[in-house]
Amino acid sequence: MTKTYYTEDHEWLRVEGDIATVGITDYAQEQLGDLVFVELPEAGRKLAKGDVAVVVESVKAASDVYAPLDGEITDSNAALSSDPALINSAATGDGWLWKMKIANTGQLEGLMDEAGYNAHIG
Amino acid sequence: MTGDHTNQLPLEDLHSAAGARFGAFAGWNMPLTYPAGVMKEHLHTREHVGLFDISHMKLFVVSGPGAADLINRACPLDAKTLEFKQSKYTFFLTEAAGIVDDLIITRLGEDRFMVVANAGNAATDEAHLREIGKSFDANIEPLDRVFIAIQGPEAAAVLESAGVDTDTLFFMQGFEPRTNWFMSRSGYTGEDGFEIGLPEADARELLAKLLGDERVMWIGLAARDSLRLEAGLCLHGNDITPDTDPASAGLMWAIPKDLRTDGKFIGAAALSKILADGAKEKRVGLKPEGRQPVRSGTQLFDADGNPAGRVTSGGFGPSAGFPVAMGYVSAPLAKAGTRVFADVRGTKVPVDVHSLPFTQHRYRKG
């Protein structure tokens, strides 16, 4: 059973058991423009909610992507090293950023569902 | 600067209709990108024609019997030796030879010159010119114009199709082809191209024709920046400022030789001293190793970890296909191929000093 959550910082989380796959939303990739580099986190890195997990770089600027939850990185999307534009073309699919083991599933309760997120971006 | 007030482009409605994403730049609400996105906009300009609204930049006519003398005082230039139609890249300098702004000045007639200034400095430039102008018999007239740039290998062909003659102009020439028009063969992309200042009604008429041409695409400020950076062209406020001088900035080619040691322009004494002592730092191209861009403000270090300089512009070069940057390094490190290191969020990224431009200029010279 998979469930998708959204954050106010324009990330999505696909949660299966205690593993979350995290990426940025289509709205976010549109705002950032063409991405040219992604600084990915190493597996095993422990993150607290709000830590900078990933830096995505467009032609023009670098932007931080924050950990939406406490947890530990289990994997990151190696395909982005050679093709960062995957985030532009498939933000919510092949352009995922990292997977993490969720430390406290209770933190999911503060996140939005799709309808809530759509209302958030207006 | 304009404080809290944000200026609107006269043609903002056209940009909105084209789906532009806007952002603030130098006190203006400017189109940053259009739906095609910065990458496609950049490449389109290099392959076909990019259309830029640069109405945030300011045109001034300096005229009268003392016009050339006023310019000679304000700029390291000999305005009297310019031919009619000839354009020159030049500066306003401080007494310490710091760069107040970079400009293009075109001689339109015996006592008539066009000065094109940067948006962010327009007010400073006008005050500066008027202050110097008190000592000269010259009139300084800011113009109210729409200003557009048409850039790319097919720029001349596109303008010809729209009924605008281009074959009388070579690179760095400008004239007044119609009433209240100013047109020059120049730009900020490294490509052949034109910049035209004209009344709003004329602009709307011309743009209707240009936008109906499939070779033409609106280009936003984001691609304007990546294009000029690949072309090695300076952005005032980043790569040149009142704290940098033309010698350090590698812009001495813009200053006639006889004025370098014996000029009467503001800043001449300081510049001559800098040249005699040798510039301590030099502006260079910087090519980061790998794919990660190195941004403006990033500090540079030598192999031993000593401070070596700073990045003043940096991003990704869509035509180059790799990250490109520009900055200042201490003079001994300024040779192409020298390796320095950029501190990017705590990681030392290897960066090589690189010759400029990153992409060859394709100007149409006479």
Q: How far is A56 from chain B (nearest CA, A)?
A: 10
pLDDT computed for residue B310 by the predictor: 98
pLDDT computed for residue B3 by the predictor: 52
pLDDT computed for residue B4 by the predictor: 61
With bands split at pLDDT 50, 70 and 90, how would you rate the model's confidence at B139? very high
The SS3 assignment for B347 reads strand
pLDDT digits (tens, 9 = 90+) for A61-117: 899 999 999 999 999 999 999 999 999 999 999 999 999 999 999 999 999 999 999
Q: Which two tokens stand for residue B230?
A: 């690949």
CA dist B66 and B79 (Å) reads 11
Percentages of chain A per state (helix, strand, coil), in multiples of 5: 25, 40, 35
Mean pLDDT of B189-195: 98
- Give the H or E element holding residue B252: none
Contact call for A36 and B42, based on CB within 8 A: no
Share above pLDDT 90 across residues of chain B, in percent, rounded to a whole number: 96
Residue B232 scores a pLDDT above 60: yes
pLDDT digits (tens, 9 = 90+) for B168-188: 899 999 999 999 999 999 999
pLDDT digits (tens, 9 = 90+) for B27-57: 999 999 999 999 999 999 999 999 999 999 9
pLDDT computed for residue A46 by the predictor: 97
> Lowest-confidence range among A108-117, B3-12, B135-144, B342-351?
B3-12
User: Which chain A residues are closer than 8 Å to B37 by Cβ?
Assistant: 33-34, 88
Contact call for B345 and A55, based on CB within 8 A: yes
Q: Provide the pairing of β-strand B216-218 with B307-317.
A: unpaired
pLDDT computed for residue B319 by the predictor: 98
Kindly list the structural domains of chain A, giving each domain's residue range(s) and its CATH number in brackets, ordered by start.
2-105 (2.40.50.100)
A39 touches B at CB < 8 Å: yes
pLDDT computed for residue A1 by the predictor: 78
pLDDT computed for residue B282 by the predictor: 98
Q: Which residue of B has its CA nearest to A54?
A: B345
pLDDT computed for residue B97 by the predictor: 98
Kindly list the structural domains of chain B, giving each domain's residue range(s) and its CATH number in brackets, ordered by start.
7-55+145-230 (3.30.1360.120), 280-354 (2.40.30.110)
CA dist B236 and B75 (Å) reads 16
Question: Residue holding tokens 């033409």?
Answer: B216
Mean pLDDT of B117-130: 94
> Quick count: other Cβ atoms within 10 Å of Cβ B353?
22
With bands split at pLDDT 50, 70 and 90, how would you rate the model's confidence at B1? very low
Contact call for A59 and B38, based on CB within 8 A: yes
Contact call for B37 and A33, based on CB within 8 A: yes
Buried b or exposed e, range B116-138, using 16+ CB within 10 angstroms:
bbbbbbbebbbebbeebbeebeb
pLDDT computed for residue B262 by the predictor: 86
Residues contacting B161, CB < 8 A, separation 6+:
B209, B213
Q: How far is A68 from chain B (nearest CA, A)?
A: 21
pLDDT digits (tens, 9 = 90+) for B245-288: 999 999 999 999 999 998 999 999 999 999 999 999 999 999 99
pLDDT computed for residue B174 by the predictor: 98
Contact call for B318 and A55, based on CB within 8 A: no
Residue B2 scores a pLDDT above 50: no
